[in-house]
Amino acid sequence: MNKKILALILGLVVILGTVLFIKRNNTSAGHYTIGVLQTASFPALDDTMRGFMSEIKKELGDNLTIIEQNAQGSMMQAQAIASSFKANKSISGFYAIATPAVQALKSEIKNRPIAFAAVTDPEGLHLRENDSNITGATDMADIEKQITIMRALLPKVTKVALLYNPGEPNSVIIVKQMKIALDKFGIAYQDNGANSQADVAAAAQHAAINSQAILIPTDNTIASAFPIVRQIADKAHVPIIATGTAEKEGPLMQFGVDYFQSGVQAAQLMKKMLVDGIKPMDLPVVAPSSSILISEKELKKFAIEIPESLKDSISLI
C-alpha cells in the first residue's frame, strides 16, 4: 500500500513538474527582448524612440523587455554597443535609430531581425540586399520641394551655406540633392563641414558670415548641436532652413517627416517580424508623412509674409 502511495506521489510530482516546465517554456516563447541602439539624443531621434515605445508596448504588452543603449553621437561607441548586442543571445530583435546605428548593427547582426527609423538612404547603405534581415522607416524628404518653398519665402536670397557633417552618408545624399535643386534656381552655395560636434560652432560661424541663409540636411552631428547653430545664426541675423530638426524653438522652416510616426511604423514592422514571422525582405521600407513647419517668431524677425500659394500646405508653429 505504501509503495502504491509513493508511486502515486512520484507520478503527481512528475506531472506537476512537466506542467510547470511547459508553462515556463511557453512564457519564454511568448516573451520578446528588443535591443535599441540610438545614435544620439536630440528631438528628432528622441521622438522616434517615443513613437517606437508607444507602439511596441501596444503590440506586445507585458511580453516585452527593452535593452536601451545610446551611442551619444560616437560611431565607435555605436559599434561597441552593436558588438555587445550580438553577444546577448536573449535579444530577439533590434531597433536602430538613425544611420550610424543601423550601420553598426548591420555589421554585427546577421540572423536576427533589425528594424530602423530615421535612416535617409537605405538603398545607398545596401540595407536591403541578399536576403537582408533589415527593414524600417526612411526619413528621406522631397528636397526639391523644400528648396522651392525656401525660394518662395526668401526670394532675394542668392547665396546659401550648406552646414553638415561630410562623414555622414545620410547628409551627403541630401546635400547632393540640395545642390541640384539650388542650381535650378540659380542660387549659389557653399559647403561648411563639421566632422564632430566640436567643429560645429566654427563651421556655423563661417556659414553665417558667408551666406544669406543656412541649409541643414538630416544630419545627426548638426542636430545634436542645433542650439549652438541657432545662437550663431540669430546673432548674424541669418535664417535657417532645416530638414527635420523637430526643435520646438525651431528655425524659419523645418521640412521633413513625422519622427514619432516613424518610430510607430518601425514598431509595427518589428511586431510583424517577431510575432508574425514575416521575413524582413517581405516587408517593404516605409515612409512617414512629411510636414512643413514655419516659425511665426522667425517670420516676424525677418519680416517675411507667407505667399498665398503656400498657406494651405504649411503649418505655423
247 — pLDDT class (breaks 50, 70, 90): low
230 — pLDDT class (breaks 50, 70, 90): very high
Q: Is the pLDDT reported for residue 291 higher than 90?
A: no
Nearest CA to 101 among 79, 123, 128, 86? 79
Question: What is the pairing mode between strands 240-242 and 214-216?
Answer: parallel
Q: Quick: pLDDT tens for 187-197.
A: 999 999 999 99
Dihedrals φ, ψ of 173, to 5°? -65, -40
Mean pLDDT, the chain, whole residue set: 89
Nearest CA to 304 among 316, 296, 292, 314? 296
Mean pLDDT of 48-59: 96
12 — pLDDT class (breaks 50, 70, 90): very low
Beta bridge partners of 294: 253, 316
pTM of the shown model: 0.79
Q: Is the pLDDT reported for residue 101 higher than 70?
A: yes
Beta bridge partners of 192: 163
**CA torsion angle 123 125 126 127 (round to 10):** -90
pLDDT above 90: percentage of residues in the chain: 73
